[in-house]
Structure 1
């Protein structure tokens, strides 16, 4: 891991720069070299009819888990941004916290590509969805200045 960040550091960062995700309850559980685990705490008030964890919640958790994984290779970077995210829903997500494990499969100078597996707590071998995504990586100077990558 290129940085010595802790899940608590990532959670504090998220609360500061992306309060909507923090308000959803999205949290960082684990960080490793090119990987991260995120959690959405089960909330009956946020469920779809039938008691299902909604697709947009799963999508948001997949996205931030991949962002967390990017942090493990370039440091906490607010301007590392999603350029593509695709999710396949495999079965209903019901009854418990939702977890997402993101793994970076390729990291280049400008982009990072990864895969994200999502499951409900207690059933890590029964995926509820699978996602793949790409993040645009900011140049070091842009990260320090908080600038958005790419053309302005």
Structure 2
């Protein structure tokens, strides 16, 4: 699936969050997803919440897998680890750069670095494993 097909899939099957996320680029090893950060994503202290960053990483990795295997809505997260490294500032969108590390018949393993727009060092890192249902 290309970026246009992934964005259409999100709009159709995940309409509750699709307006906030957009797949902006497919790469040789993964993809890039942007999150339009709004007031609902913020926590006290003027920073983006951890659950928001987790959602971005999870969605980015899910889309990276679908970009290779096609529309498989029931691929699910089976393991996740997240490191929050820096405070992402309010008022800046987030970008997840996702890399597929292994794509097998039953499992996919990937990582994602999350960046706050305009800042060079990543604000978070996620590693996730997905179960791919039998076809």
Indicate the residue corresponding to 1:144 in structure 2: none
Paired with 1:61 and 1:70, the residues of 2 have a C-alpha distance of 14
Q: How far apart are residue 45 of structure 1 and its match?
A: 4.3
Give the 5 Å matches for 1:1-152. 5-23=1-19, 25-94=20-89, 95-123=91-119, 125-140=120-135
Tell me the secondary structure at the aligned position of residue 112 of structure 1: strand
Paired with 1:107 and 1:6, the residues of 2 have a C-alpha distance of 17
Q: How far apart are residue 51 of structure 1 and its match?
A: 1.2
Aligned positions, number = 134
Larger Rg: 1
Q: Which runs of 4+ in 1 moved over 2 A?
A: none
TM-score normalised to the size of structure 2?
0.91
The verdict on how the C-alpha distance between 1:72 and 1:46 changes in structure 2, with shifts beyond 3 A counting, is closer
More strand by share: 2
Task: Write out per-residue CA displacement over residues 93-144 of structure 1, whole angstroms, 9 at most, x where no aligned residue.
Answer: 1131001011011112200001110011122x3110000000111222xxxx
Verify the 8 A CA contact 1:32 1:72 in the aligned structure 2. no
RMSD: 1.4
TM-score normalised to the size of structure 1?
0.82
Unpaired stretches in structure 1, ≥5 consecutive residues: 141-152
Verify the 8 A CA contact 2:2 2:67 in the aligned structure 1. no
